[in-house]
Chains A and B, each alone.
Chain A
Amino acid sequence: MGRSGSGKSTLLHVLGALDAPDSGEIEVGGTRIDTLSERDATVYRRTGVGVVFQRYNLLATMTAVENVELPGVLAGEKQSTLRPRAEKLLDELGLSDRAGHRPEAMSGGEQQRVAIARALLFEPPVLLADEPTGNLDSRTAEALWGLLARVAGDHDTTVVMVTHEPAAAAHCSRVLVVSDGLIADDFETEGLDAGGVASRAERALDA
């Protein structure tokens, strides 16, 4: 969590090897991310981490199942092995009837669930979500947060989500508050509701 420009998205980007830090070290699951070569960074983005962006970022030219398969295609896997996995993921996320639809035919919530399915194709240990509900209504957002929490448990995946919404943070087990590029607070949310999270975060940002 953090205010605009605090560096929370930047943190996510360096965790996902989408950007390189100016200094320091980054380790994800025991792997040094900051020293990866271009090729290794690409493989890491493909299989070592899943990314869900704010603006769905599905390829408009592909169907839902093709979007989910895409990382596998990029890795050179055959469709015979990819398709069943992709369909299973879509089914798990309640989208089996949308498998053949293009993004333009889906709602915002559905598109975001497809993006989550794509991020889970290689069962990464970490899933990065950059304000995944920023473009959704509150009800759809609520459903998506619940989905992310379930996915974290079902797939044994650590979900790192950037958000400025306390309601979203309340679904997480741990909150890092970022301010001016530094971690201002780090607390667990057990026993806290959205209001409690918001108060705690506000105090950290005002300090």
Chain B
Amino acid sequence: MRAAWRLARSALWTRKSRSALLAAAVTLSTALVAAVACAMGSVNAAVEDQLASQFGTAQARLRPAGTGKVIPFSVLEQARAWAGVERADGVRQTTSSVAFDATLFEQQQGGAWERVTRPLGSEALLTGYAAGDERLLATGLIAGRLPEAPGEIVIDALLAQRMTAAFIGEHLTRPAIELASVELPHLAQATPDLPERVGSDAEADRLNALVGPRPGDTLRSVRLFGRDIPLTVVGVSRPPPLGGRPQASALLATVDRLAGGERGLTEIALHLEDGTDAEAFVASERGGLPAGVLLQTTERITSGIERNLDSNKVGFIIASVLAFMSAAFIIMTGLTTGLAEQQRSLAVVRAIGATRGQLAIAQLLTGGVTGLTGALLGTPLGVLMAWTLLAVFRDCGPGGRRVPPVTLTVAVLGSVLAGLGGALWPAYRASRLRPIEAMATRASAISNRLLVGVGVAGLLGIGAMIAIVGGSDDGQFVFWGYATIGLPAMFIGYFLVSVPAAVLCGVLLGPVISRVLGLPRGLLTRVIRATPFRHGFTAGAMMAGLALMVSIWTNGGSVMRDWLGRIEFPDAFVSGLALSPEAQARIDALPFVNATAAITLHPVEVDFFGVRALQQYKTTFVAFEPTPFMEMAALTFVEGDEDTARARLEAGGAVIVAREFRVAQGLGLGDTFICRGADGVEHEFEIVGVVTSPGLELVSKFFNIGDEFIDQALHAVFGSRKDLRERFGSDAIQLIQVDLADDADDAEAIATIRRELFGAGILDAGSGRQIKQQILTFVGGSLVVFSAVAVGSMLVACFGVANLIVAGIHARRYELGVLRAIGGSRGLLVRLVAGEAIVIALAACVVGTCMGVQAAWAGQRLYETLIGIGDLRRVPPSDAILWGCVFVLSLTLLAAAPAAAWLNRRRPVELVAGCG
């Protein structure tokens, strides 16, 4: 072992620059993986914090069976008396429009700034807690104290911000949900004494910046259909980790009064005594509950998000495996090239008594040290990168800094394994060195048969992926098969195919490139042909980033264009927890409103669906009044007809489904299925029509109605409100669909609706166009973020490419020296290196684009088989491909530049004498 270590150390230390380049490639790969791990850790921590603030640590929970219902207070007393219950805490949630009568400066006609009083307000979600509730006690205050008496309220920073002078009128046009980006400078100072008027814009701005609600100020809960209720601000809290809508906390009595209607609770959290099994407890006590009240364990409630978090980890591990496989290939090619260069030396070492094992272990040690260096340098670098990004983009890094041990361990181990894995082939090659053969030969031609064999092996890997993804319509099989076998097989396949691809590029494009660069005919092609593996694997190192970019832009473009783009959203929506018929009537009365339709979104479970081991998808039962809804929605029937469907819906026991549902489940006109409500009772429904998607499931997610983190309802079934009342026991209005006049301006209409309904308990309002635009913006933004990851991947590969090009030059320095000795110029060698880099880049572009298109196809198959989004056209994005190829070419030439410069400075004798 000592001997092997001595050989490895000598090789690593003496070729410091090349060792550094290899280590840099692994370091950057590790840093990227570590950065993603930390970012994910931060987001996951934020989700867990969000869950904790929402659900606390209770093991079981009581909820009303229907949307918009409450639990009687008597149930709280009943729950407290149950054996096994240590503590029971009830909460009540409601929406409220909250206004702050602010004194501020307003510019009058003529330019003077005069002091006025204006109401500044916003819709907010109010939650009422018992005084000792852990969730209330866990409120993160940034000013003031917790509520101790009825009428006292703690507002969160989002709500406080909306009641500052900077937000005058803003709430009318801004969506209610946003990431937490809150600055409240006014909290740091006491309420100033404001003069009657000020003379300058600057002074007005300075004083207006100090206007906003502080502890001690009075707000109004504005009630459109009743008297305003005063509330005293006693504290301001941090916004929720992941942002969301403006919220406030108060005691139960306060919120109960604000909610009006039937008194009661919207949830009771049960903390069980140590040793009490939650599932058994629920099973034994649920029978004694009054009708309309559900008892569930919190695992059932939070299991959805935990599965979602687990699915993120699976995605992270898959991405890490690919990143480290790429690094391993870079190391393998680098060490193998070094092996070729050191062949004579290693033969001598064998000749003087080294065993095969010692040479092999030396290679493994070299790879291991490279990987370990990458781990030691890359992990803290990645953590630093993540923390820097989280500090700069505080809004997007909600959970604070996290260093997740498990995923970081993946980064460290992956780096070391990449080094060892990449050294396996060179170790095998080194162990097979026979002293005489190694000393006798300088180079041997690679046979065409070997090239064809490698190409065939690569195509088999690619074909394996196609067979797995294309051979089944079972979403489970396709997903797991792709993640575990198909994706790695495709990756390795394209790496191998890179070798014949590089040769073909050299043969077909070599003459053109040679002509452009002024190289002797045939020289470039022969150089490529002489070492096809080195050139091919170097191309492979560059292809991964381009493939990623092509894939995400192909899929992203398809989703935006062929799915999202085709969804026709209705004109406008108003959302709330439980909107009243009076609110609907008020909207109807507006002059620019043609019609409204009340909608309820009710989560149900069906018998099929989803990637069971990962994210749990529920179905939304979208309940509407058939006649007004169908007139407004202008549905296009793919199966069935509108008249028949409407009549059946009115009669009950019938639903219509979206086309994606039909594709995903294979159920269509005339089929039946079972729906289960929250109480577990089964109801059979018949499908009476298949329609193009009205997009209501997306709208419900946009407005964050219901338990956003729990249920991911990507599919909906559309039924009648009659069925909702009779079968699922609910009739609250959560969404009002609005049909606007043709000449109405969206933004003005929404602003007017919000102004008119301020105090009517709405949560949010938005136009269909605005919703669609925001979704498209989000998807587009995600594509940009993923592109940055792809570019990062190419930069990582750049270091590997640099190492390979340097190693290649060193391995051939004798031949290059001879070329100079017989009359070749310095420029010739530089242009030769540039020509090789161009061939490598072109091969990478071809292979990378093919792999990207294939990966995009796989992504679309996943959409089709898992969630039923079909009809996506695969249109490779020419812009992204072009820019990606330009980037690959530029990076490859950049990577070759230092080696070319070194070569340019060498005299012929230095090149020739350097061998031996």
Contacts and interface: CB of A to CB of B under 8 A. Distances in A.
Q: Judge: A and B partners, yes or no.
A: yes
B229 interface: no
B912 to A, nearest CB: 13
A70 interface: yes
A56 B351 contact: no
Contact of B354 (A42, A60, A103): A42
B41 to A, nearest CB: 42
B439 interface: yes
Interface in A91-146: 103-104, 118-119
A42 B10 CA distance: 22
Query: Which of B13, B354, B358, B914 has the most CB atoms of chain A within a 10 A radius of its CB?
Result: B354
B348 A59 contact: yes
A45 B788 CA distance: 56
A59 B3 contact: no
B355 interface: yes
Interface in A17-46: 18-19, 38-39, 42-43, 45-46
A59 B10 contact: yes
B3 A74 contact: yes
Q: Could you say which interface size class chain A belongs to?
A: 20 to 34
A19 B436 contact: yes
Interface of B is mostly: helix
A160 to B, nearest CB: 15
Contacts of B3: 73-76
Contacts, number: 70
B349 A74 contact: yes
B457 interface: no
A118 B321 CA distance: 46
A47 B358 CA distance: 17
A43 B353 contact: yes
A4 interface: no
Contacts of B220: none
Nearest to B347: A57
A53 B10 contact: no
A51 B10 contact: no
B352 A56 contact: no
A170 to B, nearest CB: 28
Interface string B892-915: 000000000000000000000010
A61 B10 contact: yes
A104 B909 CA distance: 13
Contact of B2 (A56, A60, A76): A76
Query: Which of B2, B15, B914, B916 has the most CB atoms of chain A within a 10 A radius of its CB?
Result: B916
A119 B348 CA distance: 12
Interface in A51-104: 51, 53, 55-62, 66, 70-71, 73-76, 103-104
A2 interface: no
Contacts of B345: 57, 59-61
A112 B914 CA distance: 16
Contacts of B914: 104
Interface in B304-361: 344-345, 348-356, 358
Contact of B14 (A53, A61, A118): A61
B436 A75 contact: no
27 contacts: A18-B351, A18-B435, A18-B436, A19-B436, A39-B355, A42-B353, A45-B351, A45-B353, A47-B353, A51-B352, A55-B916, A57-B351, A57-B439, A59-B345, A59-B348, A59-B349, A60-B14, A60-B345, A61-B14, A70-B352, A71-B353, A73-B2, A73-B6, A74-B349, A74-B358, A76-B3, A103-B916
Interface of B: 2-3, 6, 10-11, 13-15, 344-345, 348-356, 358, 435-436, 439, 914, 916
Given A45-B350, A51-B352, 6 more contacts: A19-B436, A42-B353, A42-B355, A59-B349, A73-B3, A76-B3
